[in-house]
Chain A
């Protein structure tokens, strides 16, 4: 079926809520989250799948919402930063960011939080090198990486000295 170029009705599942939106097929998920749903946590910075400020989870995986069409995100479970502290109580990762002063201007922060959420789900006990490799998809201009690294290391479920099995190969 041909859809568009004008507005069409699409259904999204965002933060466990069904949303029906009228939009052109050319709109990105980021545009729809921000402009149609008022979820402005995800930011538009590079708008070209490089900086990570627009990171959200789609079916639990971190993705750049600037480079996904909203119409393509139907049938998926979309989670934005707004889903993490619905009643205002910060989750453990958010608390770790606050404690480690892992934010300055804060514009990149929601993207980092979502990226780190997925990263930790996959690797609950990261080493420093895991963090440096696994968080390379997000950029910060104020230079808060030291705090971000500290926040993620503080989330590690095992002692920080334990190298992951993959470590040797990466260094080889």
Chain B
């Protein structure tokens, strides 16, 4: 890791004031589980590291019947997963967080850092760039080993998958994030926070280099049934092959509104309007769930080695829909059967 200047502002305004107009020279340090690895691998080489953990105002969590969940960017994953209000009002979120990474990571990682973590694409992590282009301008991902890469939204130039397992759940719950810059704060839907970069100068989200993601807000539960389903190789502590989050509102067993978000399939959390539209107005059964998952994955395409992920994502989504509708589904890992 290259040496850097360490700054530890005590309040949000000072923190934002220390940020710069370009990416690269200053990095924000919260839980550190990702940034420190990125610095060790020289993937990022900041000369200034801005520790924001002294800003107490960013470390608050509140669940309110009317206001919903308001969580500061510095709240650790473990605290959110154990919070009685979160457990009661947002069980799918609590479950996704409690199942994320490992206990040690959950004790360290913050919700803000989780949403801003960088992709695990092995070309990126081995130093070949976020878009992994070779000297002739061709994609290393397309020419190389893409077994874990995107199956949706993968027309390029970004082929990595969005790494957060929590973000798709928050998107499905209609979460917004508050972003604070030097002049003002703005609140945007988390769904629009994520984006696929088209050049090495961009990042995977809507933050400007001089902005800070300060809090996450989830609307109060609206009575919809939610489910989170994750397929991964290992029993614990592994990156998923694909995840699916479903939030369904029903009246008299008919779906009145659906929110469907897939994870680890695209450079961003992937919302499927196709599946949402297909489910709306329907009475849920296995065949509707299957049709919806077919519809969600219809735009998917293999990059050569990741076609199996289309199947896995379909199954994850079908099972998540059925689980939200109260059906029994196979466990997310056969070892749990």
Q: Point out residues on A near B: beta carbons under 8 Å.
A: 1-6, 8, 24-26, 28, 47-50, 52, 55, 58, 61-64, 66-69, 71-72, 115, 118-119, 129, 132-134, 136-137, 169-171
Contact = CB atoms under 8 A, between A and B. Distances in A.
Interface in B83-113: 95, 101-105, 107-108
A25 B49 contact: yes
B239 to A, nearest CB: 11
Nearest to A72: B51
Nearest to A59: B107
Contacts of A4: 3-6
Contacts of A67: 32-33, 36-37, 108
27 contacts: A2-B7, A3-B5, A3-B8, A4-B3, A8-B6, A25-B4, A47-B40, A49-B37, A49-B104, A50-B237, A58-B107, A62-B103, A62-B107, A67-B32, A67-B33, A68-B36, A69-B6, A72-B32, A72-B53, A119-B103, A132-B236, A133-B236, A134-B103, A136-B102, A136-B237, A170-B336, A171-B336
Nearest to A27: B1
B5 A62 contact: no
Contacts of B8: 1, 3
Interface in B37-53: 37, 39-40, 47, 49, 51, 53
Contacts of A136: 102-103, 234-237
Contacts of B236: 132-133, 136-137
Interface string B50-78: 01010000000000000000000000001
A134 B98 CA distance: 10
Given A25-B5, A69-B36, A169-B95, A49 B105 contact: yes
A48 B107 contact: no
B29 interface: yes
B336 A137 contact: no
Main secondary structure of the interface of A (DSSP, over half): mixed
A127 B84 CA distance: 23
Nearest to B7: A2
Contacts of B40: 47-48
A13 to B, nearest CB: 17
Contacts of A129: 336
Nearest to B76: A61
B201 interface: no
B32 A69 contact: yes
B108 A68 contact: yes
B107 A61 contact: yes
Contacts of B155: none
B2 interface: yes
List of 3 A-B pairs having minimum Cβ-Cβ separation, nearest first: A136-B236, A137-B102, A5-B3
A28 B3 CA distance: 12
B331 interface: yes
A48 B37 contact: yes
B29 A62 contact: no
Given A137-B103, A137-B104, 18 more contacts: A2-B5, A4-B4, A4-B5, A5-B47, A25-B3, A25-B5, A25-B49, A49-B33, A55-B104, A58-B107, A61-B107, A62-B107, A66-B36, A72-B51, A118-B103, A132-B236, A136-B235, A171-B336
Contacts of B39: 26
A25 B33 CA distance: 16
A84 to B, nearest CB: 18
Contact of A71 (B6, B107, B234, B331): B6
Contacts of A132: 235-236
